[in-house]
């Protein structure tokens, strides 16, 4: 997010071709008439015939264990679905590149299973990752920027190596808001120079938020079993909630950031994006571990677990003390109404509701946060590019800026790079201004923020609406973000879990469970209990646009 730092997850995108031009021919799913005289006008497509739609990781594993499904068959099915829905049909444009070795990897995992070797819950499971995460294979890692197109990364990101060790099938990479949406203050979420515009899976001409836009759309549309996004401030939470997913933004240091194109060493983290809490939990535990290349992971020793599915408890809300952050709501009436219903669901599930439990420092850290991000973006990008060496043609942020100017027609047709240019003017991380800003962020978001309110009321979690309804994608004017709640957990480096809570007409809404550092297990239990009580997730139907109800007679 930019603007005041505006709360849209550092997201950017561009509709390279008009949305209306993309919804005409749905190749494998039959479109329903958009002006139905009867029936559900929210059904843009007939019921999904994809045989693995909405199946969980556990269900897929069960089928593979029984021999009724192979990883290669599943991988081929997802690749076909990507061709049918992402490349054509509704043209979701969420997958920037598929892995040419995916079927080979899947066949290898099948051979291991036949030999009695199953590495864990991700064995043979196809996973999509965001295109700012290094993979030492035949795929690019570019953050959506044409400036970084070149040779593949020389080594896997730590979490990619963990994925491979867990037996997952790296299916491909997802589009994103270019440079994780820290290039411009007036960007459009989900657009990158390399990948074009990602579209919303529920309503095609709406925005999927970002910056993990491609992962949000792809996983919601059942283009893979689970996916990985990255967040600095909202880039997992916003696209997950807006696309009807579960998203986990972990404590900074629970997952390594080495080999991930950075914005902020203080706030960056990767995390799971999935259709269910159980799937997100399975992915979260598989990728933890201390990494010598990321000092923040040292703090996770003794605090992380290898299997977060042990926290899945449908009764976890019974007796739990849940604080309602009223000062983090009130930005959209439909969202507020859904939030009230969510609070009532929490109460009915046995939670003790503390209302209000306002985080007292919300918004007071905005200016300091932006300073921190500008300083760390410059330092982090320069360090990352130095590591990439000859695999990319640019070696510094200054060279990226020059590349964008020289290739403005492709890289800056809709918005500029003023955020990147401002970062380039910043000094070193030894500057007193930077150190003071870091200290202010930690004090306001942690000591006087989340920790203070949770201690005051003995809370297990704080809840707030994750997002307002998605907005129409608008390349010329940028995002019209209606509100959300990622910042306090992001600035603190604390965990947040978003879960579907309802809809604003055809558009998904989520609720966030926010906690103290290293409380992922507790939050997962609470989120799972809420999910099981409400069952708010629905699969998308790829509506061309929002249906407009006819006015009632006499109104």
| Count of CA atoms in the C-beta half-sphere (13 A) of 341 | 15
Q: Which of 130, 173, 249, 378 is catalytic?
A: 130
Secondary structure (3-state) at 119: coil
pLDDT in tens, 122-146: 999 999 999 999 999 999 999 999 9
pLDDT in tens, 468-490: 999 999 999 999 998 999 999 99
β-bridge partners, 509: 502
Report residue 268 as tokens: 């960056």
Q: Write out 414-429 in H/E/C secondary structure.
A: CCCCHHHHHHHCCCCC
H helix or E strand, kind and range, residue 487: helix 487-492
Give me the pLDDT at residue 28, please: 27
Report residue 11 as tokens: 């997201």
Give me the pLDDT at residue 387, please: 97
* Nearest to 283, CA basis, from 294, 271, 275, 291: 271
* Nearest to 308, CA basis, from 159, 528, 160: 528
- Average pLDDT of the chain to the nearest whole number: 92
Q: Which of 211, 278, 486, 487 is catalytic?
A: 211
Radius of gyration of the chain measured on its C-alpha atoms: 22
pTM reported for the whole predicted model: 0.93
Share of the chain above pLDDT 70, in %: 90
pLDDT in tens, 370-415: 999 999 999 999 999 999 999 999 999 999 999 999 999 999 999 9
d(CA 236, CA 334): 22
Give me the pLDDT at residue 47, please: 63
Q: Which of 135, 235, 241, 278 is catalytic?
A: 235
Give me the pLDDT at residue 45, please: 57
* Nearest to 191, CA basis, from 544, 409, 479: 479
* Nearest to 381, CA basis, from 372, 367, 394, 369: 394
Tally of residues, the chain: 555
62 flagged as catalytic: no
d(CA 28, CA 19): 19
235 flagged as catalytic: yes
552 flagged as catalytic: no
Domains and CATH numbers, the chain: 19-26+40-534 (3.90.1300.10)
Give me the pLDDT at residue 325, please: 98
From residue 455, how far is each of 214, 272, 444, 518 by CA, in Å? 37, 28, 15, 16
- Has residue 63 got a pLDDT over 50? yes
């Amino acid at each position: 997010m930019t603007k005041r730092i505006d709360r849209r997850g550092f997201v950017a995108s561009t509709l390279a071709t008009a949305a209306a031009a993309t919804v005409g021919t749905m190749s494998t799913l039959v479109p329903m008439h958009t002006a139905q005289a009867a029936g559900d006008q929210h059904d843009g497509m007939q019921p999904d015939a994809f045989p693995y739609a909405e199946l969980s990781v556990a269900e897929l594993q069960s089928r593979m264990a029984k021999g009724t499904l192979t990883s290669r068959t599943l991988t081929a099915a997802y690749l076909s679905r990507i061709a049918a829905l992402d490349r054509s049909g509704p043209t979701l444009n969420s997958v920037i590149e598929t892995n040419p070795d995916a079927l080979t990897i899947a066949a290898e995992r099948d051979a291991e299973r036949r030999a009695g070797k199953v590495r864990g819950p991700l064995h043979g499971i196809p996973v999509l990752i965001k295109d700012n995460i290094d993979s030492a294979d035949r795929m690019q890692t570019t953050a959506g920027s044409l400036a970084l197109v070149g040779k593949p990364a020389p080594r896997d990101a730590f979490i990619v190596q963990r994925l491979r060790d867990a037996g997952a099938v790296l299916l491909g990479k997802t589009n994103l808001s270019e440079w994780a949406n820290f290039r411009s203050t007036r960007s459009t979420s989900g657009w990158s120079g390399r990948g074009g515009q990602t579209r919303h899976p529920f309503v095609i001409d709406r925005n999927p938020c970002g910056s993990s836009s491609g992962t949000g759309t792809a996983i919601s549309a059942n283009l893979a079993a689970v996916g990985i996004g990255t967040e600095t401030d909202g880039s997992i939470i916003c696209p997950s909630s807006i696309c009807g997913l579960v998203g986990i933004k972990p404590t900074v240091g629970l997952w390594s950031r080495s080999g991930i194109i950075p914005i902020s060493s203080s706030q960056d983290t990767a995390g799971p994006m999935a259709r269910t809490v159980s799937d997100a939990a399975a992915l979260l535990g598989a990728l933890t571990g201390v990494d010598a290349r990321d000092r923040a992971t040292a703090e996770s020793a003794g605090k992380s677990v290898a299997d977060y599915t042990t926290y899945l408890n449908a009764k976890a809300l019974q007796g739990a003390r849940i604080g309602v952050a009223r000062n983090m709501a009130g930005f959209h009436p439909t969202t507020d109404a859904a939030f009230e219903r969510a609070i009532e669901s929490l109460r009915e599930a046995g939670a003790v509701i503390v209302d209000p439990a306002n985080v007292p420092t919300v918004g007071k850290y905005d200016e300091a946060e932006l300073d921190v991000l500008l300083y760390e973006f410059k330092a982090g990008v320069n360090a990352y590019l130095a590591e990439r060496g000859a695999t990319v043609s640019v070696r510094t942020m200054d060279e990226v800026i020059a590349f964008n100017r020289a290739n403005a027609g492709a890289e800056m047709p809709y918005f500029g790079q003023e955020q990147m240019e401002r970062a380039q003017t910043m000094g070193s991380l030894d500057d007193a201004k930077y150190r003071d800003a870091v200290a202010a962020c930690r004090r306001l978001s942690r000591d006087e923020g989340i920790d203070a309110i949770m201690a005051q009321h003995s809370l297990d979690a704080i809840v707030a609406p994750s997002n307002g309804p998605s907005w129409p994608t608008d390349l010329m004017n940028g995002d019209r973000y209606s509100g959300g709640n990622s910042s306090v957990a992001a600035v603190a480096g604390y965990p947040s879990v978003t879960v579907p809570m309802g809809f604003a007409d055809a558009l998904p809404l989520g609720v966030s469970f926010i906690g103290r550092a290293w409380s992922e297990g507790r939050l997962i239990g609470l989120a799972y209990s809420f999910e099981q009580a409400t069952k708010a997730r629905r699969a998308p139907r790829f509506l061309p646009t929002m249906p407009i109800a006819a006015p009632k007679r006499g109104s």
